[in-house]
């Protein structure tokens, strides 16, 4: 009977030890999965190449009368560089361009240059960047050219292929107020507020 009790105690001890080792290993694996997050610190940089479709939405004037843009669907692209200030915030600059046709087949070009700030929401291997770009926009229609303010809020969705490369898509709203003071050749009543958007595919490289 004593030998049986000793064997039972030994078996129970071994069972507790093995069980504890298994649970500890499992907890370590769970902790590794839970705590594995792509980490970016101040000074880490990235470069985007974007390309896609430009979508004219509408114009409105100072009296809030809305009208069509009379533009076709167009093409758009941009290059963007940003640097991380923290794991979730990055800032940089973006140079873009678009083209679309008017009803009489004249080509409108817009070339925006903006300062851009982005907040990154992460659930690895996916990321959602929410951005705001502010700057100037050069509009060109045949020989006429005009520089205006532009605001470009955007949201994206990216999949991280590895630590350096990511691929995704973006939707960006273009707000372009074209305001005339009336002191020049164009009357103030011709001031218009352009509303457009683009949908682009994006390649992201971090370095």
Q: What is the pLDDT of residue 33?
A: 47
Q: What is the pLDDT of residue 4?
A: 43
On whether both 96 and 28 belong to a single domain, the answer is no
pTM exceeds cut of 0.85 = no
Q: What is the pLDDT of residue 61?
A: 78
On whether both 32 and 54 belong to a single domain, the answer is no
On whether both 49 and 150 belong to a single domain, the answer is yes
C-beta separation of 68 from 102 below 8 A: no
Q: What is the pLDDT of residue 9?
A: 54
C-alpha to C-alpha distance for 46 and 164, rounded to whole angstroms: 9
Q: What is the pLDDT of residue 154?
A: 97
On whether both 190 and 103 belong to a single domain, the answer is yes
- The residue segments making up the domain with residue 10 are 1-36
Q: Going residue by residue through the chain (207 aa), what tens digit of pLDDT does each one get?
A: 444 455 545 555 554 454 455 445 445 544 444 444 557 888 899 999 999 999 999 988 777 788 888 899 999 999 999 999 999 999 999 999 999 999 888 999 999 999 999 999 999 899 999 999 999 999 999 888 889 999 999 999 999 999 899 999 999 999 999 876 655 555 555 678 899 999 999 999 999
On whether both 70 and 126 belong to a single domain, the answer is yes
Q: What is the pLDDT of residue 67?
A: 85
On whether both 27 and 109 belong to a single domain, the answer is no
On whether both 17 and 96 belong to a single domain, the answer is no
On whether both 130 and 195 belong to a single domain, the answer is yes
CA dihedral 44, 153, 159, 29 (to 10 degrees): 70
Angle at 147 between CA 143 and CA 153, to 5 degrees: 125
CA dihedral 183, 186, 190, 195 (to 10 degrees): -100
Q: What is the pLDDT of residue 146?
A: 86
């Amino acid at each position: 009977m004593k030998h049986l009790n000793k064997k039972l105690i030994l078996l129970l001890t071994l069972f507790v030890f093995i069980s504890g080792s298994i649970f500890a290993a499992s907890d370590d694996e769970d902790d590794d999965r839970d705590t594995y997050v792509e980490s970016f610190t101040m000074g880490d940089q990235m470069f985007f190449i974007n390309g896609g479709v430009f979508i004219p939405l509408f114009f409105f004037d100072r009296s809030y009368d809305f009208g069509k843009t009379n533009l076709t669907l167009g093409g758009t692209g941009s290059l963007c560089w940003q640097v991380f200030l923290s794991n979730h915030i990055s800032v940089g600059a973006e140079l873009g361009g678009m083209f679309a046709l008017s009803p009489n087949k004249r080509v409108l070009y817009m070339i925006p240059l903006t300062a851009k700030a982005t907040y990154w929401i992460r659930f690895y291997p996916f990321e959602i960047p929410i951005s705001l770009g502010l700057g100037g926009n050069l509009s060109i229609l045949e020989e006429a050219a005009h520089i205006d303010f532009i605001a470009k809020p955007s949201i994206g969705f990216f999949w991280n292929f590895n630590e350096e490369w990511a691929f995704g898509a973006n939707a960006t709203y273009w707000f372009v107020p074209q305001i005339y003071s009336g002191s020049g050749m164009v009357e103030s009543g011709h001031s218009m507020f352009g509303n457009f958007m683009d949908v682009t595919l994006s390649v992201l490289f971090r370095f």
